Amino acid sequence: MKKFPDGFLWGASTSSMQVEGGIENNDWAEAARLGKTPPMGLACDHYNRFEEDLDIVQSLHHNAFRFSIEWARIEPKEGVFDEKELAHYRDVVRACRVRGLEPFVCIWHFSLPLWFVQRGSFGKKDSPDIFARYAKKVAETLGDEVKFYLTINEPLVWVGEHGKILGGTPGFSPNPFLGLHYLHQLIRAHKSAYAVIKSLNPHAHVGVAKHNFSFVGVGFLGNIVAGVSQYLWNRYFLNALIGYQDFIGIQFYQRLFFWQSKTEEQAAPKSDIGWQLHPEGIYDVLKEASRYTLPIYITESGVADAKDQFRREFIVESLRAVHRAIDDGVDVRGYLHWSLLDNYEFQHGFSMKFGLVHVDHEQGQKRTVRSSAQAYADIVKDNSRLRT
């Protein structure tokens, strides 16, 4: 039996736009109206069913829950905040607390208010100040009931992947020079938000959710490309935040190979989304992140698996690798699986099933706990032990 440290946090993650439903005033809703992405509609109706979903979380013996604030809900017009919607998120935090769940609050998870996009998104010089104003309102509302804040979810993914998908939407562009500008604006935005949250709640722990890869080089040239990629993707942003993070949120899904043979690539098991399954690669990512000598929380890691045939093994092997990293001195303090629910996966719509809980979007959003979720619950319940 492998015992995890006392106080280790176990849970699952969600994102407001991907699960809440009923959001029509952000950039992704607009992209859907323009036919660029699938419509989200009710999503999982988590906005109305969050207590039911948190009851499921509690039944699975989790002690933490990550969710995000929908900026377009609470600031529907520039500088105008909706107190009713702010109260909703305060209710979510309190619902976590009464169930013994430590809330991890992500302030921005990809989707942006239309007014912010139309004024130039993060391309505008004053956008970090606008973001900090929003972060301040969130922190003022939630007060000391929230200990953990993630300011930004996967900054390089937003700048890169989502920028290409929404290339025609105001505020997004596949232009690499604009992308670099956006990235530096996000660095400024995080630092500004960090400062304002800490000024309101000095005891808050503030970080980012950083999506990192395990880069593997094959051959001389492959090793060079892997090393450069590792620096540019995994470290550049985190290096810029030194002194402005209290912990690092690590998100891991894939190993990327430069250059894997066609035979090896074809033989590797893959998730429904086509990503190779190498859960043990999280060890490399955690060891690399330990250079910053900060506590690490895994804020996302998961697999698209509609038939639930890989998820249990993915979780177990991921946790073996996490435990190995802890044994080797990495200060890992929590694991939050992606995701709690089968949700709206952006350009993939509802076709990719990452959830511990299956949601039947055609049958009244019916929830069904998957067997892999029960296997994860057994690990959590068994005094945080993982069988060898």
Q: What is the DSSP annotation of 327-354?
A: HTT--EEEEEEE-SB----GGGTT----
Give the active site residue among 70, 154, 288, 345: 154
Q: What is the DSSP annotation of 29-78?
A: HHHHHTTSS---TTTT-HHHHHHHHHHHHHHTT--EEEEE--HHHH-SBT
The beta strand positions in the chain, using DSSP E, are 2-3, 9-13, 64-68, 102-108, 148-153, 205-211, 214-217, 248-252, 255-258, 296-301, 332-338, 357-360, 366-369, 385-386
Q: Are 206 and 241 in contact (CB under 8 A)?
A: no
Instruction: Check residue 291 and report its DSSP letter.
Output: G
Q: Are 122 and 189 in contact (CB under 8 A)?
A: yes
Q: At what angle do helices 127-142 and 83-98 cross, to 10 degrees?
A: 50
Q: Is residue 362 flagged as an active site residue?
A: no
Q: What is the DSSP annotation of 218-237?
A: -HHHHHHHHHHHIIIIIIHH
Give the active site residue among 20, 70, 85, 300: 300
Instruction: Check residue 197 and report its DSSP letter.
Output: H
Residue 164: what residue type?
K
CA distance 318 to 252: 10
Q: Is residue 154 flagged as an active site residue?
A: yes
Q: Are 157 and 210 in contact (CB under 8 A)?
A: no
Residues 6+ apart with CB under 8 A from 255: 213, 214, 215, 216, 276, 278, 281
**Catalytic residues, which ones?**
154, 300
